[in-house]
Amino acid sequence: MASSLQCIDCAQQYPIQRVIYTCDACGGLLDVRHDFGDSSSEISPALFDGRLGAFIAPYSSGVWRFKELVYPGVDDSDIVSRMEGNTNLYELPRVASYAGMDTLFLKHEGENPTGSFKDRGMTTGVTQARILGMERVACASTGNTSASMASYAARAGMQGIIFLQNQQIALGKLAQGIAFGATCLQINADFDRNMELVRLVSEKLGIYLLNSINPFRLEGQKSIMFEALQQLRWSVPDWIVVPGGNLGNSSAFGKGLLEMLQVGLIDRLPRLAIIQAEGANPLYRHFRDGFRQFEAVNAETIATAIKIGNPVNLQKAIRALEWTSGVVEQVSDQQIMDAKAIIDGVGIGCEPASACSVAGAKRLVERGIIKRGDTVLGVLTGHVLKDPEATIGYHADQLPGLSPKHRNAMLQVEDDLDAIVRVLGDRAP
């Protein structure tokens, strides 16, 4: 089945064998376009349901289960997979009531092999790198992309090269990149500058770029929507709420949702709500200004995963917002960390950036944009263990400028039986 690359601005097409990330003719972003023509009759809930619980690759993966929509022409022997996806969809009434709504589902992408949604894009990105015969792959990262790329590159026997901002990466993520054997460059530059640098270096040295500007990444990430809808038995929620940083996920969601509509898996589109941190809110500002003049920002937020001021997928995210009558909201670091404490406190947990989904949904309910009775699906993008410093800092009340509303303070107790019994007595449920 034919797939090609196509510019989202001028529609120029390129063969998928080309190592190219933006349009030669106009500089626009590229989509991977699949011709579903031949197989659209076989694409059905029954096809994908029939693969649930598969033990054998590639259909044991929650990405490759949807192969016909992700990369139809791929040879199974080229696929580099860690059985990513297959993440849980939780219905969480306590979190819903915190956010002021009746029905909230949270899809936990932190349950992927390296602890974030990036694995879904990395299986397709590294598979494409293998098809192209690449030996080296690179990315700039706030942490999760690098952890994921390092893992998949190691599985594929490739050298992974990661560009990181000095001191600004959560410990869990840094540890993964090092452990998986990637070449880690700590550079005194923020994510946005590192993104420019990795593009230049990759071009100069013929290294395959695996940031989400690479359209094959987004093909894998679309499967978050496929799997979520499958879990909801193809019943479309009113809202999908997702954090926005480099805007790869929101872009992928827009494309995946539209494709599901095109092949008849769903009968309408949900509305997309993209949530940014107040200190890293270039899309929010642009949205508020009616998309007139885009301005990058100098990003600062405790949610280091989304500390991004100049997102590379901007145009695709705007397109996704247009397709889905979407909205953009912003939330403060205080709101992010309080929402995180609520998600953590019900025993599910997530990293700070992920909590934007709940904090943002809450704001949108308060502003009357999401209605209490709407069905809302939020995406938790990363695992609670990714950023232990932020979690402990919150509960120890040691985060500058923040005061924890949902604190679980650690208790210092003497080595003394009576003292311990007294403390627990004071805290009996």
- For the window 214-243, what string marks contact with ligand F0G as x by the rule CB under 6 A? -----------------------------x
CA distances from 289 to 9, 281, 299 (A): 21, 12, 19
- CB nearer to ligand F0G: give 245 or 279: 245
- Looking at this protein, which amino acid is placed at residue 300? E
Quick one: which of 354, 362, 363, 370 contacts ligand F0G (CB under 6 A)?
Answer: 354
Complete DSSP assignment for 182-227: -EEEEESS-HHHHHHHHHHHHHHHTPEE-STTSHHHHHHHTHHHHH
Q: Does 361 bind ligand F0G (CB under 6 A)?
A: no
CB 249 to ligand F0G: min, Å: 4
301's tokens: 């937020």
| Positions in 291-330 near ligand F0G (CB under 6 A) | 305-306
Quick one: which of 327, 351, 357, 363 contacts ligand F0G (CB under 6 A)?
Answer: 351
- CB nearer to ligand F0G: give 109 or 338: 109
- CB nearer to ligand F0G: give 237 or 243: 243
Q: Does 247 bind ligand F0G (CB under 6 A)?
A: yes
CB 398 to ligand F0G: min, Å: 22
Helix, strand and coil percent figures for the chain, each rounded to 5: 40, 15, 40
CB 225 to ligand F0G: min, Å: 13
Complete DSSP assignment for 285-329: HHHHTTT-S--------S-GGG--SS-TTHHHHHHHHHHTT-EEE
| Positions in 161-220 near ligand F0G (CB under 6 A) | 212
How do 159-165 and 208-209 pair as beta strands? unpaired
Quick one: which of 6, 81, 127, 141 contacts ligand F0G (CB under 6 A)?
Answer: 141
- CB nearer to ligand F0G: give 134 or 306: 306
What is d(CA 171, CA 167) in angstroms, rounded to the nearest whole number? 9
| CA-closest candidate to residue 110, choices 302, 364, 343 | 343
- CB nearer to ligand F0G: give 309 or 404: 309
Q: Does 382 bind ligand F0G (CB under 6 A)?
A: yes
How many residues make contact with ligand F0G (CB under 6 A)? Answer: 23
Q: What crossing angle do the helices spanning 248-262 and 223-231 adopt, rounded to 10°? A: 60
What is d(CA 281, CA 304) in angstroms, rounded to the nearest whole number? 13
| Cα dihedral value 278, 279, 285, 288, nearest 10 | 10
- CB nearer to ligand F0G: give 104 or 170: 170
Report the interface residues with ligand F0G, using CB under 6 A: 116, 118, 141-145, 212, 243-250, 305-306, 351, 353-354, 381-382
